[in-house]
Amino acid sequence: MHILSMSDLNLTDKRVMIREDFNVPMENGVITSDARIMAAIPTIKLALEQDAKVILISHMGRPKEGEYDEPYSLAPVAKRLSELLGQEVRFEKDWLNGIEINNGEVVLCENTRFNVGEKANDDGLSRKMAALCDIFVMDAFATAHRAQASTHGVACFAQTACAGPLLMGELDALERAIANPARPMLAIIGGSKISTKLTVLEKLLDMVDFMIVGGGIANTLIRASGHFIGKSLCEENLLGEAKSLLKKANKHKTTIPIPVDVVVAKELSVDAIPEIKPVDKVMHDEMILDIGPQTIQMYQELIKQSKTIIWNGPVGVFENDHFAKGTEAIAHAIADSSAFSIAGGGDTLAALEKFDVMDKLSYISTGDGAFLEFIEGKKLPAIEILERRAN
């Protein structure tokens, strides 16, 4: 893949606009995980070292276009950035028609998704953004699957469009895990719905040796392999697809272990009474909320054998301590393994943070949907345009 890299350009005196992904989780105006902000810091520092004029843009959540809506404001991110950079990051609410900026300054622009035309990748809006900079740097891998004005359109019209070091690093790590993986290769895919991950699961069957599934996806496969799962989260309408997935796995000699024991409860709450039982003993008023100790052991064994591990999505409701043991054991097993390991996705990162193993994996991707689409082999529009601009 040939794309222009920010590190090959002279940024001095230039207006450098960096597309970040500051779509961070927030509760009542307080940032609950700053992993994505931390990941952006080295690129910003690199631009500052060269005395550039640094303009940062990002979206936050999915607000209605054309309306200011405070819960979606990036103002708290400007504050956190100032702390992390040790210099003031000026916050600009109205920025589209021009930004005053000096060398060595950093400006964060308000949520790109407040602008009409952002989602539609509108040319007029894209041109306005492009006019604000000399160099556009795409550094938000997590948004690279979106063809929007601030990820794609602006890159069409900017004088120069390139990839930042964070994006380059993400692409390198993912290529390493996917293009020529050390084997055996294991994928762990969890999450509530099989429907949103069906295509990536199918694609992964061609690539991996072992596949561990978790959450609602696992429930649907447990059901498809003939077990009664009570009132567990499951997509009944996809049982046919789930069955063909298992059949295909068999044909490809890909191991998809089905849990042998599970943790169930009658309700999902802090007062829930968890019970460990064999997978074929789930009652009609119970739901599966985590994997049991024998299944944990089985999964630990697979993790130990693997030389490449891709992880997206927890295997239980780890936010609730009653149902966290499965995800915790997996996080630790991956942390202890010498495999090339890469994890991505909001829930997965939250689990890694909770179990304090963030720095024990080979690579942490900031991507969620983009991470999965990349693995699926889909062309990401924000990368494609950088390739086109480089030619």
List interacting residues with ligand 3PG (CB under 6 A).
Answer: 21, 23, 62, 142-143, 146, 368-369
Whole-number minimum distance, CB 349 to Mg ion, in Å?
A: 11
Q: Give yes or no: 216 in active site.
A: no
Query: Is 344 annotated as catalytic?
Result: no
Instruction: Please report how close the Cβ of residue 389 comes to ligand 3PG at its closest, in angstroms.
Output: 22
In 3D space, the residue among 362, 272, 369 whose CA is nearest the CA of residue 313 turns out to be 369
Q: Which residues bind Mg ion (CB under 5 A)?
A: 368
The smaller minimum CB distance to Mg ion, of residues 134 and 373, is found at 373
Closest approach of Mg ion to the CB of residue 369, in Å: 5
Residue 111 contacts which entry, ligand 3PG, Mg ion, none (Cβ below 5-8 A, type-dependent): none
From residue 37, give the alpha-carbon distance in Å to each of 20, 112, 237, 248, 287: 9, 17, 39, 40, 37
Provide the minimum distance between the beta carbon of 347 and Mg ion in the complex, in angstroms, as a whole number. 10
- To Mg ion, the closest distance from the beta carbon of 111 in angstroms equals 16
Provide, rounded to whole angstroms, the least separation between the CB of residue 70 and ligand 3PG. 18
Q: Write down the catalytic residue from 230, 369, 378, 389.
A: 369
Catalytic residue from among 164, 214, 345, 346: 346
> Which of Mg ion, ligand 3PG, none interacts with 150 (beta carbon under 5 to 8 A by kind)?
none
Nearer to ligand 3PG, 144 or 207 (CB): 144
Q: Return the number of the residue (259 or 344) whose C-beta is nearest Mg ion.
A: 344
Given the residues 80, 193, 277, 378, the one annotated as active site: 193
Question: CA end-to-end span of the chain, whole Å?
Answer: 11
CB of 272 to Mg ion, least distance (A): 27
Distance CA 58, CA 147 (A): 14
- Alpha-carbon distance of 4 to 48, in angstroms, equals 19
Tell which residue, 67, 54, 32, has the closest CA to residue 139.
54
62 is in the binding site of which of Mg ion, ligand 3PG, none (Cβ under 5 to 8 A by kind)?
ligand 3PG
Look at residue 19 and give the partner it binds from ligand 3PG, Mg ion, none, a contact being a CB closer than 5 to 8 Å depending on partner kind.
none
- Other Cβ atoms less than 10 A from the Cβ of 195: the count is 14
CB 219 within 8 A of CB 204: no
227 binds, among ligand 3PG, Mg ion, none (CB under 5 to 8 A by kind): none
Catalytic residue status for 346: yes
**Which residues lie below 8 Å from residue 370, measured CB to CB, with a gap of 6+?**
141, 142, 143, 144, 145, 380
Using the structure block, give the residue that is written with the tokens 């008023």.
285
CA dist., res. 149 & res. 365, Å (int) = 23
- With H, G, I as helix, E, B as strand and everything else as coil, classify residue 301: helix
Closest CA to 22 of 7, 11, 33: 33
Q: How far apart are CA 288 and CA 217, in angstroms?
A: 12
Residue 254 interaction partner, one of ligand 3PG, Mg ion, none, beta carbon < 5-8 Å per kind: none
- Give the residue carrying structure tokens 């780890």: 318
Task: Tell me the three state secondary structure of residue 181.
Answer: coil
* Residue 12 to residue 205: CA distance in whole angstroms: 47
Q: Note whether 222 and 264 are within 8 A (CB).
A: no
- C-beta of 149 vs 256, nearer to ligand 3PG: 149
Which residue number, 373 or 387, has a Cβ lying nearer to Mg ion? 373
Query: With respect to ligand 3PG, which residue has the nearer C-beta, 23 or 192?
Result: 23
- Active-site annotation holds for 124: no
Catalytic entry in 15, 36, 197, 325: 36
Q: Which residue is nearest to Mg ion (CB)?
A: 368
Please identify, using beta-carbon distances, which residue of 115 and 232 lies nearer to ligand 3PG.
115
Choose among 85, 18, 10, 20: nearest CA to 51: 10
The residues carrying an active-site annotation are: 36, 193, 346, 369
